[in-house]
Chains A and B, each alone.
Chain A
């Protein structure tokens, strides 16, 4: 009887010891990482503070907050998300008719696409809408025309539900051509709005 008891206690001690070992390992790893502080080490606490402040306080008790937490994973504080947004925006270009700043019907889907991109992206960011012109005309008038092109798209985005505080505009007149050949195709390409995610 005593032997059985001793055996049970020893077996129990073994399990307890095994259970403790992972803790020891975790601690050891933690000690290791603490000893080898690197830049990512330093950044992680900041990210944890910003990303998980709310979840740490609310996640354990409230399922709805858990959902918010899951959404917060998409918050583009991660540089990769910023890059993805910047890449997506760089592909969107709105083109304009000669000497006009109203949005053509065939360009509205592009404006809608940009609106969807911006509305689906959470967090703080600013997008600059850059108005551009072809080579024709005096540059002061062209700068104003480029600005009107940027402004009409900005207003359209706001009308589609984008937060106005996330948008800013600028005009480059004819100083930022994407194409410098003296052809009609080139001129049409240069009459445009670009979108740039600001750092």
Chain B
């Protein structure tokens, strides 16, 4: 009898523990925001960032007279943290309290050179808030993107922006400027292709605004991937699009594919490259081991994979799922895990193309085209959420 009672008590206690655990994982920390001086754009972007990160909830409350005025802790029942901000003269001061133990956990100043770049300031603040709450860092939020937009026939311009497209600045215009690609992790320079009498590859320094001619090729020239001093290019030296590896120090060019059809979109991956090829009559993903030279098909699920990105064992492809010559076609993103051999559909309809993994693999950026406009899609893989930011033009390609 005693044993039975002890057993029942143990079960009861464990049940309560399970309930508590379930409650905690479903509830996100709530942050209340007070501000001395702020703007509509700053408040809006703070909320957008909280949704993008999806680790905490944020409510903009009311104005206060100073950052150090006494906190009314009773007012914020149900909240975990109180964030106070003061934005003035291009300086944002942030002070955050833990409402449970009533102690400050964050005090930081952010300075920007001009008002226009305030989105980056807010992204860095959100990054710090997320870190203080003990969650996995969201470095991807603070990165810049460069993208090419279609202006008119044979006319594309290249822009730089933050990940939410709240900040945008035109870098290069005049003529057909396409396929921008970040040249380094510091994001201080880009490669891009300009179609003159033939395609020419340029490197553009963001700080000096100087551009340098790298090389040219008849037919086609695209930088697909950059790894240190090596570039993966799609070139058409003999009118044939193939993948080449270019070393910018030695200026050597090495041909990696020789199939007489289409080989494009090379990405450095493990001991070789993955790329798109139509060598079986339709575009699909292949892997080439650069040591052995062997080429193998990577995906056996689906057909018509027109672009690819990879991070560790995860591969995401844009797959054309319809074959309409005279109707709207559907391109969806599919996630394939090489080891677990499963396929997960990430999007459901529309034209979703050009997926790109973030460095930490937690987020995928892609282009969603809708009629004559594009949206930048941000897919939070572990949160199972997608966010869109619209531009009123057609995005040709981007680099992140």
Q: Is A141 in contact with B264, judged by CB distance below 8 angstroms?
A: yes
Q: Is A182 an interface residue (CB 8 A)?
A: yes
Q: Which residues of B contact A177 (CB under 8 A)?
A: 153
Complex-state Cα separation, A173 to B261, whole angstroms: 16
Q: Count chain B residues whose beta carbon lies closer than 8 angstroms to a beta carbon of A.
A: 48
- Among B86-138, those with CB < 8 Å from A are none
Complex-state Cα separation, A165 to B264, whole angstroms: 27
Q: Is B397 an interface residue (CB 8 A)?
A: yes
Q: Is B318 in contact with A138, judged by CB distance below 8 angstroms?
A: yes
Complex-state Cα separation, A154 to B236, whole angstroms: 14
- Among B181-228, those with CB < 8 Å from A are 195, 197-199, 218-220, 222, 224
Q: Is B234 in contact with A144, judged by CB distance below 8 angstroms?
A: yes
How many Å from the CB of B238 to the closest CB on chain A?
Answer: 10
Q: Is B372 an interface residue (CB 8 A)?
A: yes
Complex-state Cα separation, A180 to B152, whole angstroms: 10
With contact pairs A137-B353, A138-B307, A143-B220 given, residues A172 and B195 touching in the complex (Cβ less than 8 Å) = yes
Contact of A141 among B178, B239, B307, B394 (CB under 8 A): B307
Q: Count chain A residues whose beta carbon lies closer than 8 angstroms to a beta carbon of B.
A: 35
Q: Is A114 an interface residue (CB 8 A)?
A: no
Among A140, A147, A176, A182, which residue has the most Cβ atoms of chain B within 10 A? A140
Among A137, A154, A177, A178, which residue has the most Cβ atoms of chain B within 10 A? A137
Tell me the nearest residue of chain A to B222, going by C-beta. Answer: A140
- Among B351-387, those with CB < 8 Å from A are 351, 353-354, 369, 371-372
Q: Is A148 in contact with B176, judged by CB distance below 8 angstroms?
A: no
Q: Is A192 an interface residue (CB 8 A)?
A: no
Q: Is A182 in contact with B371, judged by CB distance below 8 angstroms?
A: yes
Q: Is A138 in contact with B306, judged by CB distance below 8 angstroms?
A: yes
Q: Is A195 an interface residue (CB 8 A)?
A: no
Q: Is B372 in contact with A180, judged by CB distance below 8 angstroms?
A: yes
Q: Is A140 in contact with B218, judged by CB distance below 8 angstroms?
A: no
Q: Is B327 an interface residue (CB 8 A)?
A: yes
Q: Is A139 an interface residue (CB 8 A)?
A: yes
Q: Is B150 an interface residue (CB 8 A)?
A: yes
Q: Is A198 an interface residue (CB 8 A)?
A: yes
Q: Is B239 in contact with A139, judged by CB distance below 8 angstroms?
A: no
Q: Is B218 in contact with A170, judged by CB distance below 8 angstroms?
A: yes
Q: Is B224 in contact with A172, judged by CB distance below 8 angstroms?
A: no
Q: Is B326 in contact with A184, judged by CB distance below 8 angstroms?
A: yes
Q: Is B154 in contact with A141, judged by CB distance below 8 angstroms?
A: no
Q: Which residues of A contact B326 (CB under 8 A)?
A: 98, 184, 187-188
Contact with B along A87-116 (1 / 0, CB 8 A): 000000000011100000000000000000
Q: Is B179 an interface residue (CB 8 A)?
A: yes
Q: Is A137 in contact with B195, judged by CB distance below 8 angstroms?
A: no
Contact of B236 among A99, A138, A147 (CB under 8 A): A147
With contact pairs A170-B219, A171-B220, A198-B197 given, residues A147 and B153 touching in the complex (Cβ less than 8 Å) = no
Q: Is B240 an interface residue (CB 8 A)?
A: yes
Q: Which residues of A contact B276 (CB under 8 A)?
A: 140-141
Q: Which residues of B contact A198 (CB under 8 A)?
A: 197
Contact of A170 among B199, B320, B323 (CB under 8 A): B199
Q: Which residues of A contact B331 (CB under 8 A)?
A: 136-137
Q: Which residues of B contact A188 (CB under 8 A)?
A: 325-326
Q: Is B396 an interface residue (CB 8 A)?
A: yes
Q: Is B156 in contact with A175, judged by CB distance below 8 angstroms?
A: yes
Complex-state Cα separation, A198 to B196, whole angstroms: 12
Q: Is A145 in contact with B218, judged by CB distance below 8 angstroms?
A: no
Complex-state Cα separation, A175 to B152, whole angstroms: 8
Contact with B along A152-177 (1 / 0, CB 8 A): 00100000000000001111111111
Complex-state Cα separation, A145 to B324, whole angstroms: 17
Q: Is A169 in contact with B307, judged by CB distance below 8 angstroms?
A: no
Q: Is B265 an interface residue (CB 8 A)?
A: yes
Complex-state Cα separation, A177 to B222, whole angstroms: 20
How many Å from the CB of B216 to the closest CB on chain A?
Answer: 12
Among B224, B327, B369, B397, which residue has the most Cβ atoms of chain A within 10 A? B397
Q: Is A135 an interface residue (CB 8 A)?
A: yes
Q: Is B241 in contact with A147, judged by CB distance below 8 angstroms?
A: yes
Contact with A along B253-283 (1 / 0, CB 8 A): 0000000011111000000000010000001
Q: Is B264 in contact with A144, judged by CB distance below 8 angstroms?
A: yes
With contact pairs A169-B239, A171-B219 given, residues A140 and B153 touching in the complex (Cβ less than 8 Å) = no
Known: A148-B262, A188-B325. 15 other contacts (CB 8 A): A98-B326, A136-B320, A138-B307, A139-B397, A140-B179, A141-B307, A143-B241, A144-B241, A150-B219, A151-B239, A170-B195, A170-B220, A172-B154, A174-B396, A188-B326
A sample of 22 cross-chain residue pairs with beta-carbon separation below 8 angstroms, ordered by A number, consists of A136-B320, A136-B351, A137-B331, A138-B306, A138-B397, A139-B354, A139-B397, A140-B179, A141-B306, A144-B220, A144-B263, A147-B236, A147-B241, A168-B198, A168-B218, A170-B220, A171-B220, A175-B195, A176-B153, A178-B153, A187-B326, A198-B197
The 6 closest A-B pairs by CB, nearest first: A98-B325, A184-B326, A138-B307, A144-B241, A144-B262, A138-B353
